Amino acid sequence: MFLPLAVVAYLFVPHFASRSTQLAPWLSHHGTPSEKALCVQPDPLFPSQDDALDKAYDFISSETFRSASIKRLSGAVQIKSESFDDLGPVGEDPRWEVFFNFYTYLQATFPLIHEKLKVEKVNTHGLFYTWEGSDSSLKPTLLMAHQDTVPVPPETVDAWTHPPWSGHYDGKKIWGRGASDCKNQLIGVMETIELLLETKFQPKRTILLSFGFDEECSGFQGALPLADFIHKRYGDDSLAIIVDEGSGFQESWGTLFAKPGTGEKGYLDVHVVVRMPGGHSSVPVDHTGIGVLSELITKIESSQYPTFLEEENPYYSQLQCGAAYAPDFPSKLKKLLAHRWTSSRHTCKSKQDPLALEAAKQGPEIKYLMQTSQAVDVISGGIKVNALPERVQTTVNHRINVGDTSKVVYDRLTALAGEVAKKYNLTLHAFDGIEEASSIMLVDSRKLEVAPVTPTDGSVLSPFSVLAGTVRALYGTEVIVAPGISTGNTDTKYYWDLTKHIFRFGPGHDPEDSGALSGVHTVDENVNVANHLNVVRWFTMFLRNMDEVDLD
């Protein structure tokens, strides 16, 4: 049950309502920073009292709004909006046309938005909404989501508990492709704006919405043109904050953390091509192209990139927050953190990093927050059983660690491929664009360096403190807000020049259901309705808070 916003704010006023957070004492009696000083938690941040806006916020808890919200999200899920890796250009490939249907649905479902806001289409299906603020000196707030979903393989349809395009509501959850990635966030943002429009709210700070349509296939035709469009209009460092889909809430070490993504690993695909003479398989060479490529793959997989944790890596801040607030935080990790601070505050990649290696014991999902990953994902070669293969190829996918660069990958693969090329008297063409017979060729594609890390000082008024303060206002002060990092990439990879304050965050959470989001990219995708309603509550409070703070 949620109390009225005005009541909750009043209860917090004596200790938490001040907009100027006091910094915790910085130094411990040992002369080192106190643990909580390294992870300052902003006070809960409530918007100023406004009867009409507070009434609208309280309406989110009504059965009327709940029923309408279920219908809206369910309807969105029922519209197929799959994106595929092999899609052709917009206007040529007919599979893009499903997005006309989705926009028609948004127009019908949110009439005030499409009456009052400026709506512009970028590359046909990209949607850009502008709610002009009354104070043009304030940098705008940008909220993002994507319209598309990953495809549903036809052979998996029978495995779904409820059909993937049914939008079925079972009394607690809405089921279907896109229910949790990320039509829930898109519809939640739209519900928030529609609700604020109904109250006659007029923002001082301009609010922008940007909805791509090909995030699941890297955003080349949706997010990239949208980002260019926004950049041409507003310029470098022109936005106060960006909030896109991303990580949410997680129970760790006996404490509930909200983990807005403040960084992303880099990305690099490398195609390895081996060219060798063909011939009849009845008179084979000792090592065919497949054998040579297999040897190179074995070399690549026989050793990994080093595990190390730079201080700018958001996971380092997560550990600091865990040490400060989590009762079950491992004592060994706490000691290693303290040692890192009191000795050298920077890692040396040529030496092992004890802190990173100990943290990595928590599992691969943690290890790869601190290590460049490599995965041999695609392989092809040979077309006939009695013909020696003349050209074989594999693709190695890399997610680059904070502190590494693509050059680290280039250098390592060049060295390994050089060893194999020398052994078999082949010419090595490492990233030079040349392909010829009797050679090993390395070709890069889709290179993306590590994302800039968003500032997250909770001791000062900042975009992070507004976001974190809104989280703690909605969910309570027992929730610790810590920077997060993603091993994957969102559409924000094209938006880096627009602001230093980018957060990849799913603000929905159901305290009674830790599995409120499930089935992302697989069968039985669903979202808990209580989680979704909290998305609307959070965005409603967040936009009001952003409208009242002076960040510029």
Give catalytic residue positions: 148, 215
* In contact, 270 and 297? CB cutoff 8 Å: no
- Interatomic CA distance for residues 250 and 39, integer angstroms: 17
Which three-class secondary structure state does DSSP give residue 33? strand
Q: Phi and psi of 370, rounded to 5°? A: -130, 20
Q: Phi and psi of 350, rounded to 5°? A: -80, -10
295 CB burial (10 A radius; 0-12, 13-18, 19+):
middle
* 27, β-bridge pairs: 33
* In contact, 428 and 438? CB cutoff 8 Å: no
Q: Which amino acid does the sequence have at 476?
A: G
- Interatomic CA distance for residues 418 and 421, integer angstroms: 5
* In contact, 435 and 387? CB cutoff 8 Å: no
* In contact, 429 and 6? CB cutoff 8 Å: no
Which three-class secondary structure state does DSSP give residue 319? helix
List the Cα angle 425/431/436 in 5-degree steps.
45
Give kind and range of the element (H or E) at residue 395: strand 391-400
Q: Token pair of 227, please?
A: 């980002």
Which three-class secondary structure state does DSSP give residue 551? coil
- Interatomic CA distance for residues 428 and 432, integer angstroms: 10
- Interatomic CA distance for residues 417 and 415, integer angstroms: 6
What's 190-206 look like in SS3?
HHHHHHHHHCCCCCCCC
Instruction: Write down the residue that tokens 């997060």 correspond to.
Output: 484
- Residue 224: name the closest of 499, 492, 505, 502 by CA: 492
* 441, β-bridge pairs: 273, 429
> For residues 181-194, b (16+ Cβ closer than 10 Å) or e, as one string?
bbbbbbbbbbbbbb
Cα-Cα-Cα-Cα dihedral sign, residues 100, 190, 123, 261: negative
What's 498's DSSP letter?
A: G
Helix, strand, coil share of the chain (percent; to 5): 35, 20, 40
Q: Report the 10 Å Cβ neighbour count for 482.
A: 28
